């Protein structure tokens, strides 16, 4: 799960990290009022779940409250990487002497969270990692013992030479680690971590990604979820316990298992079609899940054919068959459905479908070819 910059900053502030907060506005008028309250120059920043906001014109400096209103008006109308900007953060503009990067990210290779810090901040850290890896210091944390004070101090010495700034940075790193663990994050970064001309160390921008598997035990983090910033069909799918990602094609796919779901999309493309979605109905299926899956897929007007690809293991194919029959009674499905079922309780499933007038196929490739042809309006 992604959270907004202003929410990430709240997580930092809760740990005591110095971070100029600002306030969130949803209208240009609110933006002006906030800027007036803050006094002085402000930065108007789009709150969307994507990087590259600056390049897309989603971050602007405003010297006066009136200017803040104008900039907010422009940014609130933007669509950045398909995401409409619904909120802007109005933050006080800071005088910056230096910019650094500090971040902690769950690293698959180390099987541990790994710190990355660099005195070359305010930039794309992936770019630096690629072009100047020597400018980044990395450190893996053994989560059984936690992030130790001497480790924090060592990293801080890579950022600053001034002793006071080193101590301030070490404290911020320890606080950021605490925020990372308490949020159940897979990534927590401050970029940039600045020094002011008077020598203070402050966080200016923050980003957190949350491990979805943590949400069951962190209701306060789940509460940060912003449904408005996601595709409505994806929100609906999540509420129905389905994993769904919308794509641009016209062959709707309902599959059990993530790997097979991806392989099915690939096969649709291989046979000349375009998948409309990724949808994993998961392991222990029940008919209700299938009904929800069909509702979500048929709400996409682009879908011209629906393909079921089910390999029953824990998933019982008769459950899926019952779901298809129930769904077609509840929803008026105007596009053809191709069903491929094999595995657990296959004979029962085929019988259920036959009684409702459906033919089930057993071969994945044949089923995909048929669905692609039907989506193109070719007779089968």
Partner 1 sequence: MSIFIDQSTKLIVQGITGRDGSFHAKQMMEYGTQVVAGVTPGKGGQTFEGSVPIFNTVQEAMDATGANSSVIYVPPAFAADAMFEAADAGVSFIVCITEGVPVLDMTRVYPYVKEKGARLLGANCPGLLSAGKSKVGIIPGHITQPGPVGLVSKSGTLTYEVVYKLKGAGIGTTTCVGIGGDPVSGTSFIDCLAAFEADPETKAIVMLGEIGGTDEQEAAAYIKAHVTKPVVGFIAGQTAPPGRRMGHAGAIISGSAGTAEEKIQAFNDNGIAVAVRPLDVVALIQERL
Interface segment toward partner 1; rule CB under 8 A; list 6-14, 87-95, 295-303, 337-345: 337-345
Binding mask 223-262 for partner 1 (x = CB under 8 A): --------------------x-x-x-------xxxxxxxx
Closest CA to 320 of 299, 357, 348, 295: 348
**Spatial separation of the C-alpha atoms in residues 22 and 40, rounded to whole Å:** 12
Among positions 41, 78, 181, 331, the unique one binding partner 1 when judged by CB under 8 A? 181
Q: What is the closest distance, in whole angstroms, from the C-beta atom of residue 246 to partner 1 in the complex? A: 9
101 catalytic, yes or no?
yes
Contacts with partner 1 in 141-170 (CB under 8 A)? Answer: 142-144
Q: What is the closest distance, in whole angstroms, from the C-beta atom of residue 214 to partner 1 in the complex? A: 5
Q: What is the closest distance, in whole angstroms, from the C-beta atom of residue 70 to partner 1 in the complex? A: 31
**Spatial separation of the C-alpha atoms in residues 187 and 181, rounded to whole Å:** 10
Among positions 99, 200, 214, 222, the unique one binding partner 1 when judged by CB under 8 A? 214
For residue 305, is it left (φ>0), alpha (ψ between -120 and 50) or beta? beta
Six token digits for residue 372: 């692609």
Alpha-carbon distances, residue 85 vs 78, 104, 365 (angstroms): 6, 27, 42
- Position of tokens 């990290």? 17
**Spatial separation of the C-alpha atoms in residues 135 and 159, rounded to whole Å:** 10
189 catalytic, yes or no?
yes
> What sign has the CA pseudo-torsion 32, 35, 40, 46?
negative
Contacts with partner 1 in 306-325 (CB under 8 A)? Answer: 311-315
Judge whether 372 and 272 are in contact, CB under 8 Å. Answer: yes
Q: Which of 101, 160, 174, 177 is catalytic?
A: 101
Six token digits for residue 10: 């709240």
Binding mask 79-118 for partner 1 (x = CB under 8 A): ---------------------------x-xx-xxx-----
Alpha-carbon distances, residue 329 vs 19, 236, 285, 294, 332 (angstroms): 56, 20, 19, 12, 7
How many residues does the structure list for the chain?
380
342 binds partner 1 (CB under 8 A): yes
State the number of binding residues for partner 1 (CB under 8 A).
52
348 binds partner 1 (CB under 8 A): no
302 binds partner 1 (CB under 8 A): no
Among positions 126, 227, 239, 355, the unique one binding partner 1 when judged by CB under 8 A? 126
**Spatial separation of the C-alpha atoms in residues 311 and 256, rounded to whole Å:** 7
When the beta carbons of 129 and 356 are compared against partner 1, the nearer one is 129
Closest CA to 340 of 373, 371, 294, 305: 371
Catalytic residue numbers read 101, 189
- Please give the residue ranges that form the binding site for partner 1 (CB under 8 A): 106, 108-109, 111-113, 126, 142-144, 181, 184, 186, 211-214, 216-217, 243, 245, 247, 255-263, 265-270, 275, 278, 280, 283-284, 311-315, 342-344, 364-365
């Amino acid at each position: 799960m992604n959270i907004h910059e202003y929410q990430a900053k709240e997580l930092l502030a809760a740990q005591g990290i110095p971070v100029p907060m600002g306030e969130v506005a949803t209208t240009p008028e609110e933006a002006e009022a906030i800027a007036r309250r803050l006094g002085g120059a402000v930065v108007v920043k789009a709150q969307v779940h994507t990087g590259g906001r600056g390049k897309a014109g989603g971050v602007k400096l405003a010297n006066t409250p009136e200017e803040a209103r104008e900039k907010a008006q422009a940014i609130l109308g933007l669509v950045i990487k398909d995401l409409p900007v619904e909120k802007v953060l109005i933050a006080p503009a800071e005088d910056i002497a230096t910019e650094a990067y500090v971040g902690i990210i769950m690293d698959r290779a180390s099987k541990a969270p790994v710190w990355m810090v660099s005195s070359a901040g305010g930039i794309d850290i992936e770019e630096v990692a690629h072009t100047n890896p020597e400018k980044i210091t990395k450190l893996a944390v053994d989560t059984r013992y936690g992030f130790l004070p001497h480790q924090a101090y060592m990293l801080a010495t890579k950022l600053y030479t001034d002793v006071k700034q080193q101590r301030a940075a070490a404290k911020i790193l320890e606080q950021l680690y605490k925020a990372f663990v308490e949020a159940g994050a897979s990534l927590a970064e401050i970029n940039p971590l600045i020094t002011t001309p008077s020598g203070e160390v402050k966080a200016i921008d923050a980003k957190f990604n949350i491990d979805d598997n943590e949400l069951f035990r962190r209701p306060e983090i789940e509460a940060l979820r912003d449904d408005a910033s996601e595709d409505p069909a994806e929100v609906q799918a999540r509420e129905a316990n389905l994993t769904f990602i919308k794509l641009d094609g016209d062959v709707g796919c309902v599959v059990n298992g993530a790997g097979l779901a991806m392989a099915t999309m690939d096969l649709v493309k291989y046979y000349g079609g375009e998948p409309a979605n990724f949808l994993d109905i998961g392991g222990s299926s029940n008919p209700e899940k299938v009904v929800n899956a069909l509702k979500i897929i048929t709400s996409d007007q682009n879908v011209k054919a629906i393909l079921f690809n089910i390999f029953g293991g824990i998933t019982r194919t008769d459950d899926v068959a019952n779901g298809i029959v129930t769904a077609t009674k509840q929803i008026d499905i105007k596009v053809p459905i191709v069903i491929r079922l094999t595995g657990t309780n296959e004979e029962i499933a085929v019988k259920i479908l036959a009684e409702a007038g459906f033919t089930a196929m057993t071969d994945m490739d044949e089923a995909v070819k048929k669905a692609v042809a039907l989506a193109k309006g070719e007779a089968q």
